[in-house]
Amino acid sequence: MDRGTKEQIVAELRKKLKEARLGVLTSFSGMNVEKMEALRNALRKSDAEWKVVKNTLLRIASNETDFSILADHFKWPVAVVLGYKDPVEPTKILIDFAKKNPELEIKVGLLDNKPLTKNDLNVLAELPSKEVLLGKLVSVLAAVPTSFVTVLSGVPRSFVQALNAYCEKKKTLN
């Protein structure tokens, strides 16, 4: 690979590292091409990507980015997962894939400039997705006005029921 190509790869990778919200370093020794493509396709659906990168190019590209924190881990054949939106969904996909394919080993991660261990990534994968959390929030927010209206309508309802009972009692007396 000539120097110009390397510089282009480094520039493109640096841009992606700056845009990424989630980064996970993985080792993939022994994985065949079919499994790699299956992982790439699964991650693509959650607005993430899995890139196999040379350590030296990754080290150079990570300079002046948050990923420079992980530079000590660029020692083995590295593939990096880059998530650009919701960090939970790509992490779930990666953890599930690693459980089914022991060739894929998750090493460390980075989320919003905070390093994550493998255990942290497992915890992140157990969180509900953003859509589920937003749905729960909407249901809680909708319950408050509904309860408030029910409480406020309780006084007039009780008054009407008392009047109705009084009318029924008058009818039975006449």
pLDDT tens for the chain, residues 1 to 174? 778 887 888 888 888 888 888 888 888 888 888 888 888 888 888 888 888 888 888 888 888 787 777 777 777 788 888 888 888 888 888 888 888 888 888 888 888 878 888 888 888 888 877 778 788 888 888 777 777 777 777 778 887 788 888 888 888 876
Rg (CA), the chain: 28
CATH topology of domain 3-127: Alpha-Beta Plaits (3.30.70)
Determine the Cα–Cα distance for residues 14 and 71; give it in Å rounded to an integer.
Answer: 14
- b/e string for 56-94 if b means 16 or more Cβ within 10 A? ebbbbbbeebbbeebeeebeeebbbbbbeebbbbbbbbb
| φ and ψ at residue 22, rounded to 5 degrees | -125, 140
State pTM to two decimals. Answer: 0.69
The residue ranges of every structural domain in the chain are 3-127, 129-174
Quick: pLDDT tens for 89-107: 888 888 888 888 888 888 8
DSSP secondary structure letter of residue 74: T
